Amino acid sequence: MPVIFISYIDEEKEVAHFLADTLQAHFRGVTVSAYSWRQRPGEDWQQQLRHNLSSADAVVFLLGPKSIHKQWILFEYGAAWFSDKLLIPVYHSGLRPEDLQAPLNTIVHERAENPSLGSTLCNTILAFLKSRHGSQETNGSIVDGDFHKLMVEALAKVRRNARELDLFVSFPLNTEAWENLAVSDAGLLTRGAMRLSGDRKHLREMRGVLIGVVNDFVTEYRAAGYEVFFAGAKSNTDDNKTYDVAVSRDLLRTAREFVLIWPARFSSGALCEAAMAYTLGIRSRYYRRESIPLPTFLSNLENGGQSFQKPADLARQLRAAYLPGTTSEQTETVVPA
């Protein structure tokens, strides 16, 4: 009887159990082993683990920011790598192929957040089992939309249980930080001398354009199963509404990546958050308007700033960096005259 083995750490059990249930239901006459999934009292788990791995035809490895540093995962990967088994690494939760070292990076990987993962995974395993056993029956086909929705829910549970953020977005909310920012007739963001007293409403609207762009990105990012903190999500127009600095600081400590949307003027809060992210070794990106330079010490860092002209440019850059492979278009918000 063909065997499919799923390698994972306990923190990823929601995803592992979802995959095990899906593959077990899809393939006829196949045993799916996700050890510790249905462990029985009195079992010698190491012996059972060795048996399940050695008898497996295909091995699916869940690779996240934590699991790639776990000795058992590396041990299982190495044991399977030196065999004639089908190896399918599935990375998730912000991990990228470039983060992996040999031999983890020598095999084609699949991304857990990929909307077509369900059919890709099952078709790959089906073809391998047919080549090895001559035939293999299935119970119908995988519906990618349903599979993707359930995978996103499972990934969200993993992240909530870990109490970690995938992304922290730093965005100064006070209107004064954007007071030298103007929008041209072509929709470009430019610097201009503006009278704060007479143009405060317009300043608020311009700041709202960028908040709207980031909010749209955050919504799509969360829909893909990621955890993100963005203060602007709860404070789009009210200058007097603030968020707890201590809470944001604690959240930043758990973040895997950091994004700074640099304003038109100096912002002490944004600089403090950028400095904290740098000190903690959090992967950071900085975005600014073309005509507004970053402070020198930020621009000299490895990811020293990406510029944009229009709000829509910022939307495209954020999606390209954090939602690779998506195809939906981000529309540009128009500032009222």
Over the stretch 168-182, which tens digit does the pLDDT of each residue have?
Answer: 998 877 666 665 555
> In this predicted model, what pLDDT tens digit does every residue of 16-35 receive, in sequence order?
999 999 999 999 989 888 75
Condensed to tens digits (0 to 9), the pLDDT of residues 52-81 reads: 788 889 999 998 888 888 887 888 888 888
pLDDT tens-place string over residues 121-158: 999 999 999 998 888 999 988 889 999 999 988 988 88
Domains and CATH numbers, the chain: 3-160 (3.40.50.10140), 164-322 (3.40.50.450)
How would residue 100 be classed by pLDDT, with cut points 50, 70 and 90?
confident
Containing H/E element for 322? helix 311-322
Return the bridge partners of 6, or none: 60
Exposure string (b/e) for 68-82, b if CB count within 10 Å is 16 or more? Answer: bebeebeebbeebee
Q: Is the pLDDT of residue 85 over 50?
A: yes
Residue whose entry in the numeric block shows the structure tokens 């999934």: 37
CA distances from 175 to 210, 250, 287, 313, 319 (A): 12, 25, 18, 22, 25
Range in 39-43, 134-138, 145-149, 268-272 the model is least confident about: 39-43
Task: Give the C-alpha separation, 269 to 251, whole Å.
Answer: 15
Higher pLDDT, 303 or 162: 162
User: Cα–Cα distance between 108 and 151 in angstroms, integer?
Assistant: 20
Q: Residue 305: its pLDDT value, please?
A: 66
- pLDDT over 70 for what percent of the chain? 75
In angstroms, the CA 108 to CA 91 distance is: 11
Least confident of 194-203, 209-218, 276-285: 194-203
Task: Give start and end residues of each alpha helix (H) in 56-116.
Answer: 71-81
Q: Confidence class of residue 247 from pLDDT cuts 50, 70 and 90?
A: low
pLDDT at residue 183 above 70? no
Q: Where is pLDDT greater, at 332 or 212?
A: 212
**pLDDT value of position 97:** 75
Q: Which residue has the higher pLDDT, 202 or 316?
A: 316
Higher pLDDT, 258 or 182: 258
- AA letter at 229: F
Across 64-217, where does the E strand assignment appear?
86-91, 110-111, 165-170, 181-183, 189-191
Task: Please report the beta strands in 99-158, taking only residues with DSSP state E, as ranges in sequence order.
Answer: 110-111
**Per-residue model confidence (pLDDT) at position 165:** 79
CA–CA distance, 216 with 198 (Å, rounded to integer): 29
